[in-house]
Amino acid sequence: MEEQFASVRIAETPLKVFIDQLLRNAGSAPDAAAAVARAVVDASRRGIDTHGVRLAPHYLRCLYAHRLNPAPKLVVTRSAPAVAHVDADNGFGHFASYRAIDEGMAMAAETGIAAVTVGNSSHHGATGGYALVAAKQGFAAIGMTIADAAVAPFGGIRAFNGTNPIAFAVPVAGAEPMVLDMATSSIPLNRVHLRRAAGTELPPDVALDTEGMVTRDPNRFGALLPLGGSEYGYKGAGLAAMVDILCSAFSGMPHGNALTPFSDPTVPGPDLRGHFFIVMQPALFQSLAVFDARLSAFLADLRAQPAQPGKRVMAPGDPELAAAAERRANGIPVDLTTWGALQEFAARQNLPCPAEA
Amino acid sequence: MEEQFASVRIAETPLKVFIDQLLRNAGSAPDAAAAVARAVVDASRRGIDTHGVRLAPHYLRCLYAHRLNPAPKLVVTRSAPAVAHVDADNGFGHFASYRAIDEGMAMAAETGIAAVTVGNSSHHGATGGYALVAAKQGFAAIGMTIADAAVAPFGGIRAFNGTNPIAFAVPVAGAEPMVLDMATSSIPLNRVHLRRAAGTELPPDVALDTEGMVTRDPNRFGALLPLGGSEYGYKGAGLAAMVDILCSAFSGMPHGNALTPFSDPTVPGPDLRGHFFIVMQPALFQSLAVFDARLSAFLADLRAQPAQPGKRVMAPGDPELAAAAERRANGIPVDLTTWGALQEFAARQNLPCPAEA
């Protein structure tokens, strides 16, 4: 939401139907297409444009380039009462991740906490969306995904870690769930591309040039710095390492720096990505009444904190809740580059485009 | 390790015996005293001086001020096959946290993953130490603890979050475990006190003054900024919120901003702190051979990354491993303020002090 872009507005449901049909016409099995359309429209509705509809053309290119298995058969294996693995069969990560969260809820309803790893997967969009599915059904969830090298390790000069996000969602009595969804770099890689296109500088202390020196020139970009920048980046890099290990060693997949780049759809797969989810049932930890009261008290206290002039203290996910309300009412903005690409795919498929909202 | 201090060196075992005896003479039951001595000496050995022996005088003052229950009876309740709660009975957090990790391992050995909350607890020192106990026995563990208000929320002007740390430890085949242990602020509160005493400036963008403006003057200090500083601090604050919720709502305790301050031993208890642990058995996720190979490949690749001039890319916990080796050989440095305080307590108890190493 931090970069403005020229866009058209499309209502949520027709947009989801459109993307679903584009994916199926490009060869995707209906179940996988539905998962991808659901995930990208959900992310865009919540204002997470970097991981929303913007990615649909890329996913379509991956299908046309046969980089992915268009009709994956998910295999779910329980290896312990509270642990399962989803083999994504080299299909879209979204499809496998929704399945993983379902399996996690089924286990956590009995055991209180459960972990689900996903292997042989691909990009899954916004990680928080899967945690949110659990939170909407009364579970808390943590989600993580591996990504290919984009972020320098602390003290390093070359991309090694992915932007390796951590998501956390928790149900709130009488309100929407609270969702944290954050990359472990200061800025997303996408922002570098946007600044380069716009001819504007990068913020200070968020990126290195190709020689490994801190830079603000997007044209000299070599790698992102981890959250914490050049002084405290050992913390962001440490979190990225935790995410990498949970998504790779625990799922049996290679680590981030060994993955094929996601950005080029013509690079042959398999992507071999891993994801990692933890699902918890708060009612099996203690009285749900106490849980609800404690959590609501925390959120109320947080949101009531005094703020800097012109600012407001928000809970994680509050900006996304505001975006969702606005976009439900006015339609989902699709930037013109993405919209042009989707229109081209639609023309190729003789598929009519949805009207603007 | 980042601030130099004048110190004496004491060998690890006599130092642990000394602190254990001081605590028992101050009224602590032997089991609780042993846990505290173990925890603080372990932290100091690993170079985490802020959470090591430096805290022993404070714990002694808490005992003498009857702020804590000196002889807690821990009550462990399993509420689901993979969830347990440890009631710390208002005693030292260290004692309850070691017990929680043991319980987590016992459950995770069956279920693959387990969660243990701790309630009615107090400060537990360095969170990573408990995760490390699990990793030394072949389990992976995540640890978190709540802390009283020290860090401003993003956009806020007053302390609200604790430094709410996240720890992660994982066993490495043929090597010491990898341990990440990080506060979700850029710097610890302790560094502000040290800079004030030294008359030196704070680093940029890590603290607010009492009016809520970013400051480098330790004498005008009001609150720490979350990791990410004034631009990206919503990430550090988001992590702090996650830690707070897992340690409070899930354990039934109040959130961090509702806690009594830890720093003043004369404030009456109970401290009502919560901690949160997740323990996992990697061998119940998949083949341990694959896990070991994947993790070792990740760490080798990370440590081999090209570095900035004069630097070396390290894995989380590598500096602590180096400190531990040095301190095992040369004794544990105890800063002169702490050593003077311990000598005073020893004189009061007619207890001989250990010789310098």
Domains of chain A and any CATH numbers: 7-186+225-287+331-348 (3.30.1370.60), 187-221 (3.30.60.50)
At B333 the pLDDT is 96
Between chains, do B168 and A242 touch, taking CB under 8 Å as contact?
Answer: yes
Predicted confidence (pLDDT) per residue in B226-252, tens digit:
999 999 999 999 999 999 999 999 999
**Cα angle at B337 between B35 and B222, to 5 degrees?**
90
At A190 the pLDDT is 84
The mean pLDDT of chain A is: 96
Closest Cα in chain B, distance from residue A243 (Å) = 10
At B16 the pLDDT is 98
Average pLDDT of the residues in B99-113: 98
Q: Quick one: residue B118, left, alpha or beta (phi over 0 = left, psi -120 to 50 = alpha)?
A: beta
Q: Residue A4: is its pLDDT beyond 70?
A: no
At A286 the pLDDT is 94
Look up residue A112 and give its DSSP letter: S
Q: Residue A2: is its pLDDT beyond 60?
A: no
Residues of A within 8 A of B298 (CB-CB) are 241, 244-245, 248-249, 255, 257
d(C-alpha B77, C-alpha B119), whole Å: 11
Residues of B within 8 A of A110 (CB-CB) are 80-81
> Quick one: three-class SS letters along chain B?
CCCCCCEEEECHHHHHHHHHHHHHHCCCCHHHHHHHHHHHHHHHHCCCHHHCHHHHHHHHHHHHCCCCCCCCCCEEEEEECCEEEEECCCCCHHHHHHHHHHHHHHHHHHHCEEEEEEEEECCCCCCHHHHHHHHHCCCEEEEEECCCCCECCCCECCCCECCCCEEEEECCCCCCCEEEEECCECCCHHHHHHHHHHCCCCCCCCEEECCCCECCCHHHEEEECECCHHHHHHHHHHHHHHHHHHHHCCCCCCCHHHCCCCCCCCCCCCCCEEEEEEEECHHHCCCHHHHHHHHHHHHHHHHCCCECCCCCCCCCCHHHHHHHHHHHHHCEEEEHHHHHHHHHHHHHCCCCCCCCC
| Maximum CA extent, chain A | 56
Sign of CA pseudo-dihedral A311, A315, A319, A324: negative
Predicted confidence (pLDDT) per residue in B262-303, tens digit:
777 788 888 999 999 999 999 999 999 999 999 999 999 999
Between chains, do B81 and A241 touch, taking CB under 8 Å as contact?
Answer: no
At B4 the pLDDT is 65
Sign of CA pseudo-dihedral A247, A248, A253, A254: positive
Q: Residue B95: is its pLDDT beyond 90?
A: yes
Q: What is the ipTM of this complex?
A: 0.97
Helix spans in chain A (H): 12-25, 30-45, 56-64, 93-111, 128-136, 189-198, 229-248, 288-303, 318-330, 336-348
Between chains, do A297 and B255 touch, taking CB under 8 Å as contact?
Answer: yes
pLDDT > 90 fraction of chain A, expressed in percent and rounded: 92
Contact with chain A for residue B156, Cβ under 8 A: yes
Predicted confidence (pLDDT) per residue in A126-156, tens digit:
999 999 999 999 999 999 999 889 999 999 9
Closest Cα in chain B, distance from residue A150 (Å) = 13
Start-to-end CA span in chain A (Å): 19
Lowest mean per-residue pLDDT among A188-197, B48-57, B67-76, B203-212: A188-197
Q: Residue A1: is its pLDDT beyond 50?
A: no
At A30 the pLDDT is 98
Residues of A within 8 A of B294 (CB-CB) are 248-249, 252-255
Nearest to B306 among A156, A227, A312 (CB): A156
Nearest to B302 among A114, A160, A212 (CB): A160
At A265 the pLDDT is 79
Q: Residue A253: is its pLDDT beyond 70?
A: yes
Predicted confidence (pLDDT) per residue in B321-346, tens digit:
999 999 999 999 999 999 999 999 99
Chain A residues 268-327 with CB within 8 Å of chain B: 278, 280-282, 284-287, 290-291, 294-295, 297-298, 301-302, 305-308, 311-316
d(C-alpha B104, C-alpha B131), whole Å: 10
Average pLDDT of the residues in B166-180: 98
Between chains, do B168 and A312 touch, taking CB under 8 Å as contact?
Answer: no
* Torsion angle defined by CA atoms of residues A325, A327, A328 and A331, in that order, rounded to the nearest 10 degrees: 160
The mean pLDDT of chain B is: 96
pLDDT class for B1, splitting at 50, 70, 90? very low
pLDDT class for A3, splitting at 50, 70, 90? low
Contact with chain A for residue B110, Cβ under 8 A: yes
Predicted confidence (pLDDT) per residue in A271-303, tens digit:
999 999 999 999 999 999 999 999 999 999 999
Total beta-carbon pairs less than 8 A apart between chain A and chain B = 266
Predicted confidence (pLDDT) per residue in A24-81, tens digit:
999 999 999 999 999 999 999 999 999 999 999 999 999 999 999 999 999 999 999 9
